[in-house]
Amino acid sequence: MKKVLFALTVVAMLFSACSSDEEDVNFFDGNELKGDIVEDVSLSATIEYKLTGTLSIKDGGILRIPAGTVIKANKGFANYVIVEQGGQIFAEGTSGKPVKFTSGASSPAAADWGGLIINGYAPISGATSGTEGQTEVNEDLPYGGNVVADNSGVLTYVILEYTGARSNEDVEHNGLTLNGVGNGTRIENIYIPNGADDGVEFFGGSVNVKNLLVVNPDDDMFDVTQGWTGTLDNCYGVWESGYTSTESDPRGVEADGNLDGKGEDHVDQSNFKIKNMTIVNESAYEMNDVIKIRRGATATITNALAIGGTTGDMVDLTDSRGGANAATSISLTVQDVTGNQLKEDGNGGNVSFATGNTGATTSVFDWTSYGF
């Protein structure tokens, strides 16, 4: 496919794929990004880009973002990047030159812009195998299928900050939203500070994520739903001093087997692993739960460490729409956390409050310059 390099001298569009009624022209205008990518496109690290609308990588389209590239989003719910089924993104930063998505506001804050969404063809929970779901922020865009090894590209050394714009309480962005993403996709070395809703949310899929740092998310640090079956390795979530939330139940980990607990009998429910995890609360704000596993989810969590703060439950395996799967296994070390230790209904789950868990290795996050 043709590779296109965008320079500041570009004045108008490089793509002009119109809709059937010819009202919708998709384009890149100078350093402004929005519209549809349908070819193999490379940005330039020498340009500071502005995200001025929804940028969609369509089926067959590829977006390549080199190390050191900065993309600043205008404020607004519609300003986000989405990789649709069959599209790919290669945001390949380095420890010295990460790729940065941020707010372009003069005083940036959580929920300024949408965030990054990837839709794949990997399985999600549903009444039958191969079920499709609809993207929360645009129900016209599907995700899910039967391709476990689906490949949506590469994200490495990527910063996503001030994300999580909201339409209403049921339609909101996360920092990174992974919808039916396959394990052929490589995601590692990700930093998500100061965003609204969740740091990362897995809607099914089989993708694995490694080295993830989430700071001050308005809701959950790590959220799982709709049948995710991958592994999250070396993750660190923290609420800093002075943190508050607009949400009613922010947590460290929140995991559902099926979407919203509405598919108790669905196939392909969440069965995932988290290893080498640290959850820290340096604030006076109460965490609803450190770890909440519910609605048929099976979690295997090893070498987990919780430090500081107050919580309702350190581990909660219950829910009015169904508790954790009996095969759930959790090893958690707790340091200076105030709250109930375990909430369970006797229907399953092996929880060990161990001593000596070390949690995440923080040295791998030196590239973020975050002060642990």
Give the count of alpha carbons within 13 A of 211, CB side only: 19
Other CB atoms within a 10 A radius of the CB of residue 358 amount to 11
Q: Measured in whole angstroms, how far is the alpha carbon of residue 249 from the centre of its chain?
A: 18
- The CA R_g of the chain, rounded to the nearest whole Å, is 20
Residue pLDDT tens, the chain, 372 long: 434 444 332 323 333 333 333 333 344 667 999 999 999 999 999 999 999 999 999 999 999 999 999 999 999 999 999 999 999 999 999 999 999 999 999 999 999 999 999 999 999 999 999 999 999 999 999 999 999 999 999 999 999 999 999 998 889 999 999 999 999 999 999 999 999 999 999 999 999 999 999 999 999 999 999 999 999 999 999 999 999 999 999 999 999 999 999 999 999 999 999 999 999 999 999 999 999 999 999 999 999 999 999 999 999 999 999 999 999 999 999 999 999 999 998 877 899 999 999 999 999 999 999 999
Q: What angle do CA 35, 38, 44 make, to 5 degrees?
A: 75
Please say whether the dihedral angle defined by the alpha carbons of residues 363, 219, 201 and 58, taken in this order, is positive or negative.
Answer: negative
CB of 185 within 8 A of CB of 153?
A: yes
pLDDT at 168: 86
Report CA-CA distances (Å) from 228 to 29, 33, 203, 296, 327. 38, 31, 6, 12, 15
pLDDT at 218: 98
Which secondary-structure segment (H or E) carries 62?
strand 62-66
pLDDT at 29: 67
Question: What backbone phi and psi angles, to 5 degrees, belong to 310?
Answer: -115, 145
Other CB atoms within a 10 A radius of the CB of residue 368 amount to 19
Q: Which residue in 30, 10, 98 sits closest to 365, CA to CA? A: 98
pTM for this prediction = 0.93
Q: Which residue in 50, 21, 24, 43 sits closest to 35, CA to CA? A: 24
pLDDT at 294: 98
